[in-house]
Amino acid sequence: MPVLAIIVFWISTVLAVLGGIGVVASPAPVYSAVSLILTLANLAILYLLLNAQFIAAAQVLIYAGAVMVLFLFVITLLGVRDYRLFGDRQPLQRYGAMLLGALLLAGIIYFVSKSGTGLTGVHSSYNAFQAHKGNVQAFGHELFNGFLLPFEITPFLLVVAMIGAVALGKSTQGSRG
Amino acid sequence: MTIHLTAADYGAVLPIMIVLGGALCLLLTDAFVKVHETEIATGISLATLLLAFAASAHLWAVNAGPAFPQGAGAMITGDRFGQFFNFALLLSSALAILIAPPYIRTSHFDAGEFLSLILFATAGMMLMAASLNLMVIFLSIELLSLALYILSGFDRNRPRSQEAGFKYFLLSSFASAFLIYGMALIYGATGSTNLIRIVNVLGGHAGTVASTHTVLSSPFVLIGIALMAVGFAFKLSIVPFHMWTPDVYQGAPTPVTAFMSVATKAAVFPAFLRVFNLALGAESHRWFGILWALAIVTMIVGNVLALSQSSMKRLLAYSGIAHAGYVLVAMSANNRLGATAVAFYFIVYAFMNIGAFALVLVLESRGEAGDEIATYRGLFARSPLLAVATGVFMFSLAGFPPTAGFFAKYYAFAAAVQAGHTELAIIGVITSVISLGYYLRVVVLMFMQPVEAGAEQVRAGPLSDFMLTASVAGLFVVGLVPWFYNLAVQAVQSFFHFTT
């Protein structure tokens, strides 16, 4: 990995983690949403470093763009200002969760440092990607060939979500709404 | 490389395609048909399930292998193991739809939407039982969960149903995050989401491929196993990931509860088995401890908490948690008998658990109080048929000999003994004895207590009567005719054939 790439990696990693902390720790939902944009944008840079240009573009367009705009839109529309998400209602639960999370992190760090990563990170279809010059082309090729079945299941997920939106969203007045 | 899908590939997904097609058909007819909506929608969904059953039976006869595409890169399989669970899933879906029409009418549900969501959930479950790829497992678990969230919150006039839908949605999406994180780490460590390829990297039961030391000692395999276990355990309502179960079961519309209490488990367990006992078979020494502890805690907590319930639905929810523990005992045995016991369990469980919920539904139609166990007092005098059927379901759930419930439990515990884990079988038997405390309480109330003054006769509809009779008959036939158990044995042969 070239030096520049390593510098970029560390900058965006630190920013992504800071953004993640910001999502949880911000007092107002709007700040949380903006912190989430920071995390998502930095993840897109990490994808770029991994040569996954298409995923990076989709990440920026769909998550950092469309989804977060909806988030902000809903938050501002509902007018939740200065709403303390972390009230002091169950402080015990909060500290318990922090303790367990820290324990999990310590466990992971211990095991990783003890035995090395052992990650191959190379998918069996990697050669197919290499054969194509363009990343988007290779992605599309895999999507419509080896991963055709998962691709075809996704529309049904959307159909179910749509039925749900209609069934749960329609007026309760009368039997047929 | 271009993909060449053959007739065999389409054959392997045919039952799932039929159910999805039926669901879409329901939505279309719902838009145009304005008379006898409930009857027509019920007819269409039952016909769809019957067609899918025929397609599944055909696949069983062919015993198709990995498909879509065929060979090592396969996404799903048409093997007998998957088809066996398809039978259980189609059966529980059909039983739930048989009891649904009166509920749909009294709650003013839109029959087309309601039943099509049940079919969508069924299709997701069938896909899950047949999947050979972590991607397909995740997508199908989302398909079935999404449909179930909506179904749980479908009754918009009851706040409790809304609460159930929302609670299930929030907690279950959280659990899905664990699942996909685990999958991502397994993918990172093995380089594939395909179960066959994961077996080849890690080394399967047969030890066909020598596993490399670096992969086996990878902490990411270990963390991946733990995270995936959390994801699966949540969907199976295994302690300590069971908190949602009683609230969701109580709040959701009763036909939905009946359906999801059996079918979700019958869909997740085969995928759980394929991932842990097959793909991660070489790592069984790493995950055995997790499943061992989960099984013990689940059996104890489920049975003990069920003792103090006053609501029948909550009682059945805790009983469902306990039963997930028994199945987990069979699964952690990690042998042929264990896999057979898991498969056999769900044919039996479909009859007895949906049957028990059908009773709740009939009594509940007299108002919210019908859910209280106290309303079962003197049921025998009010409706002999209902009381006898409930009695059979309770005895079968408790595991009394002539019913199929006994055999299902027997095989599960026998598998643990065969694997050398007698302690699991002993705890299973002890907790089963504890379970008599709440199952028999219902029976005693029905048969040995005088009926309250002014209580009227209870009558189920013709479809519910048919369903109850079929379930009671099914419980004796499945238990006493060895043909069903042999079917499960054949199914498991194809399951282990895969690795060798």
First-to-last alpha carbon distance for chain B, in angstroms, is 28
**So what's the pLDDT on residue A175?**
46
- Measure A139 CA to nearest chain B CA, in Å: 13
pLDDT in tens, B266-293: 999 999 999 998 888 877 888 888 999 9
Map out the domains of chain B as residue ranges: 7-497
| Yes or no, beta carbons of A114 and B150 under 8 Å apart | no
Helices A68-78 + A29-49 axis angle, to 10: 180
Which of chain B's residues have a Cβ under 8 Å away from the Cβ of A115? 217-219
pLDDT given for residue A130 in this prediction: 59
Check CB contact under 8 Å for A149 and B75. yes
Locate the chain A residue with the closest alpha carbon to B222.
A111
Closest Cα in chain A to B138:
A150
Instruction: Give the pLDDT of residue B212.
Output: 46
Q: What are phi and psi of B76, to 5 degrees?
A: -135, 175
**pLDDT for the residue numbered A176:** 46
Asked if B143 lies within 8 A of A172 by C-beta distance, the reply is no
- Classify domain A1-86 by CATH number: 1.20.120.1200
Query: Is A146 in contact with B108 (Cβ distance < 8 A)?
Result: no
DSSP E strand boundaries for B61-198: 66-67, 76-77
What CA–CA distance (Å, rounded) separates B477 from B276?
32
Average pLDDT rounded to a whole number, residues B308-325: 93
Rounded Cα distance, B63 and B76, in Å: 13
A145, A153, A166 ranked by CB distance to B1: nearest = A145
Q: Which residues of A touch B149 (CB under 8 A)?
A: 164
Asked if B127's CB is within 8 angstroms of A150's CB, the reply is no
Domain boundaries, chain A: 1-86, 89-119, 121-171
Please report, rounded to a whole number, the percentage of residues in chain B having pLDDT higher than 90.
Answer: 56
- Would you call the peptide bond into B240 cis, given omega within 30 degrees of 0 as the criterion? yes
All residues at 6 or more sequence positions from B251 whose CB lies less than 8 Å from its CB, including other chains: B152, B158, B160, B161, B162, B163, B164, B165, B167
**CA A36 to CA A59: how far, in whole Å?**
12
User: Which value, to the nearest 10 degrees, does the dihedral of the CA atoms of residues A46, A51, A53, A54 take?
Assistant: -110
What is residue B377's predicted lDDT score, i.e. its pLDDT?
Answer: 83
Among chain B residues, CA nearest to A125: B192
CB B264 within 8 A of CB B235: yes
Distance CA B71, CA B64 (A): 12
Q: Give, as one character, the DSSP assignment of residue B493.
A: H
Cβ–Cβ of A119/B188 closer than 8 Å? Answer: yes
Please report, rounded to a whole number, the percentage of residues in chain B having pLDDT higher than 70.
93
Gap from A70 CA to chain B (nearest CA, Å): 19
Q: Does A130 touch chain B (CB under 8 A)?
A: no
Do residue A149 and residue B150 have CB atoms under 8 angstroms apart? no
User: Is residue B316 scored above 90 in pLDDT?
Assistant: yes
Question: How far is it, in rounded angstroms, from Cα B184 to Cα B191?
Answer: 10
pLDDT, tens digit, for every residue of B164-198?
A: 999 999 999 999 999 999 999 888 888 888 888 88
CA B237/CA B322 separation, integer angstroms: 9
| Region of poorest pLDDT, from A153-157, B342-346, B362-366 | B362-366
Chain B environment of A149 (Cβ under 8 Å): 13, 68, 75-76, 136
